[in-house]
Structures are given as structure tokens and as C-alpha cells.
Amino acid sequence: MKLQIEKLVYGGPGVAHLSEGTAAGEAVLVPFTLQGELIEASLLEQNKSNEASLLHVLDASGDRVQPRCVHFGECGGCHYQHADYPAQKKIKISILRETLERAGLKTLPEIQSHTADPWGYRNRMRLRVKKVDSTLRVGYNRRGTNEFLPIQECPITAPLLWRAAQSVLQAAVEDSMIQRWIDNVSDIELFTSGDETKLQMSLFVLKQQQPGLASFCERMKQLVPELVGAGSSLIKPPGPQRQIQKPYPLESWGASGLSYHAAGEDYWVSRGGFFQVNRFLVDELVEIVATNRQGTLAWDLFAGVGLFSRALAKKFAQVVAVEVAGSDLVNSFKGPGKRAVEATAVEFLRHTAVQRDRPQLIVMDPPRAGVGAEVCSLLARVSAPELVYVSCDPVTLGRDLKMLVDAGYRVEQLHSVDLFPQTFHLETVVVLRR
């Protein structure tokens, strides 16, 4: 069937409406399309969401380009490589505004866009390891499936990460003992400092095995001198109700983390710990959140390793950093005017909402689920003059902003910080004031 793509929506696909038959008027989602294109597509069988597969582009958009990666379309990681980068920025800003307006936020400021190099930006990658025709390969999942896709490149990751992945395969080929050890590895996660001078490696194994990590890492160190530490963990298949089991730590080698320099500070990131993934935009993200803000007291909820807390501590007399997995934070964020609290945001707010201390600023950077109704209610009770909300999901962001606006806040600034070029993912910074 022929379809005219009307717009792109969150998640990556373009939207068209059927013009003929009993289903006329129904929306159809077609990945890898662009606004205004005339395409030929085929509805997928047994698909409740009316998703179609793109067969041919009959009238291409002027924004369409040749994808840089040979795996684009097969791999589930990227969604927009068929659009030039200026078009990607416009797509994301349009989707962000429409999503927030749909949540009931009608009076919004102009969205400010912040970008950097759209290639080689990722400081972390996680790869599956599997034999294909008796040859060890690394790869991702094929789009929309759990099927293994062996890859030969990943241009959105830092070059050091791909070099390290290739070195794993080289080490296995050169040494039969290493190969036997690697045969038990299911996944490898690689994390690099922003300047690519240090590398951490996490290996996830399917069963406990004989020691062998040290000899493997010593060979890897010869191939990749940037390697500073590694660890192996036992990973189990999903349990009842398909629950993912937490990996069980086994052997380790070298340092337990690495020092990541960003925004004029050094942050200790433990192996497997969270840090912002775009190595080119971390400094700008910190500047948007923390620059030109000062006062007596600030709270940083969902603080992670203290990325924003450190910057805030330069301008506020006291900063309280709150993180549920806060062992690294407790050890590193201390000294005059600095306090780390290992707790969930809701636990912290339940306790502090009845206290007399009132911050001038609250920063929050929650996971995709957002902060939720109870946190929004508690924030309204605390009634800080200024909130800064860092979001990686526009849908939950819209839901939470609507509750905060209904509680008396107004949206003063909207920033689109493109931490995930070539993908549909959106990072947004919102400044709210009473």
C-alpha cells in the first residue's frame, strides 16, 4: 500500500493514515521514514499496533541521507541514521513539544537545542558474545527480537570501545585457554573515560568456571594499554515471571572503577556504575543545570556519582546529594557544606517535608519512570523556589510537569540536550519556578 508520512513520533517511526478499505482513517506506524515522504509499505501480520515495514521510498525527503552504519535497520540500537543531523534535531524538538502539549502543558517557552558531534559519542557499550559458524563474534540484538546480530562496526561509540571489543576476539583466537574461558562469556560491557585514556571491562558469564580472568586481562592489557580494571559476574537466565536476576560478582582484576574527568571535576565511577553516556555533552549538561544558581541550600535528588552536586557545591553553602545506590557518593561527596544521603528520593522527601530547612533549589535526574505522583506532591509541600528536572523520557516528564504546574510551578526554560544522536531517545532539562 502507498502511504504519505505525516510526522514522526516518539519511538522512531513515521505516522500515516490509511485512506482506503474498512480500516480507512486508522494510523499506521512505519519505521525509517521521514515527514512528507510517499512510501510503499506492508502491514505486519498479527500486529495490534498497526506497524508496517517499509518496502520502497517513492518520493524521498530532502533530509534523507545514506546511513553511515552497515547494520542500520537490522540492529535495534539506532533509529534516525537515514536523516541528516539537522533534521534529527528538528524531529526531536517537535516530538518533545507535542508530547508536553498532549500532557496538558499549553504555555511553553522556546526549546533551546544543545548538540555536539553525533558520532563516536558513547562512552559505554554492551555487546553479546556468541559463536557463529564456529567463529567467535560480538554483536547486538536484531531489531525487535532477541536474535543475535554479529556486527563489524558501531560508529556511535568511542573508537576505544570498538578497538577493545576487537581485541577480545583477537585474544581468544591467539590463545586456546583464553578462548575456552571466553566461550563461557555471554556479554561484555566496556566503559571509557571521556578522553579515552582509561577503560573498564565487565564480563558476564553463564556458569562459574575455573580462574582465568587474570591471564585474559594481562593479554588484553598488552593489546589495549588503556585497560585499568575488569570483573566477571555470574548472570542467570530470567527467573519466575521473567524477572532478571542480579549478576553475582566473581573474579576481579585491576582497579574497581575509573576516574572520569568532566566539568572541571574528577568523578570516581565504579565498574558498572551509572554515568552520563555522551562524552561530548557532559560539561554542557552540567552548565545548564548548575551554572548561575547560588544560595544557602540545594538538594540533588537521584544524584548518581554527584555529577551535579559537585558543581552546585561551588555556589551553595550546603548541598545534600541523595542517591539510593550511594556507596560511591558517600565516599566521594564529603567535606564542608557537602552531605550525601543513601536513600530513595521519596524516602528523603517524606522525612524532610516536615523539617524546617527549605532549599532554594532542587535538582532531580530520575530514571525513565520519572519522579511520580508522590514525589511531585512532596515537592509541592517543600515549595522550593526553583526546580531543575533532567529527564530521559518525554512522556513521564510531561506527566510530572503537569502535576508540578498544577501545584503552582511554571515552566521557565526548556532545553533539548541531544545525548543520544541517531536514536529516538530524548534528554530534556526543564527549569521550573514559583
- In this prediction, residue 47 has a pLDDT band, given cuts at 50, 70 and 90, of low
- Residue 157 shares a structural domain with residue 241: yes
pLDDT, tens only, 217-272: 999 999 999 999 999 999 876 655 555 668 899 999 999 999 999 999 999 999 99
Q: How far apart are CA 140 and CA 127, in angstroms?
A: 6
Which CATH number belongs to the domain containing residue 146 in this structure? 2.40.50.1070
pLDDT at 331: 86
- Residue 329 shares a structural domain with residue 363: yes
pLDDT, tens only, 273-332: 999 999 999 999 999 999 889 999 999 999 999 999 999 999 999 999 999 987 888 888
Q: How far apart are CA 378 and CA 383, in angstroms?
A: 8
Measuring CA to CA, which residue among 61, 56, 4 is closest to residue 28?
4
Question: If residue 328 lies in a helix (H) or strand (E), which one and from where to where?
Answer: helix 327-332
Backbone dihedral angles phi then psi of residue 344, each to the nearest 5 degrees: -75, 160
Residue carrying C-alpha cell 575509573: 258
How far the first Cα of the chain sits from its last, in Å, is: 52
CA distances from 311 to 111, 276, 423 (A): 24, 15, 29
- Residue 235 shares a structural domain with residue 296: no
Question: If residue 362 lies in a helix (H) or strand (E), which one and from where to where?
Answer: strand 361-364
pLDDT at 48: 64
Give the domain extent around 133: 124-262
Which CATH number belongs to the domain containing residue 334 in this structure? 3.40.50.150
Measuring CA to CA, which residue among 194, 190, 200 is closest to residue 252?
200
Asked if pLDDT for residue 376 goes beyond 70, the answer is: yes
Indicate the pairing of strand 410-417 with strand 386-391. Answer: unpaired
- Residue 130 shares a structural domain with residue 109: no
Measure the CA dihedral 122/123/124/127, to 10°: 60
Q: How far apart are CA 403 and CA 246, in angstroms?
A: 34
Residue 409 inside a domain? The answer is: yes
Residue 268 inside a domain? The answer is: no
- In this prediction, residue 357 has a pLDDT band, given cuts at 50, 70 and 90, of confident
CA distances from 286 to 197, 222, 297, 411 (A): 22, 36, 18, 19
- Residue 111 shares a structural domain with residue 133: no
pLDDT at 59: 98
- Residue 317 shares a structural domain with residue 244: no
Residues near 133 by Cβ (< 8 Å), separated by ≥ 6? none
Beta bridge partners, 54, equal 41
pTM: 0.93
- Residue 253 shares a structural domain with residue 295: no
- 215's torsion region: left (phi>0), alpha (psi -120 to 50) or beta? alpha
- Residue 381 shares a structural domain with residue 247: no
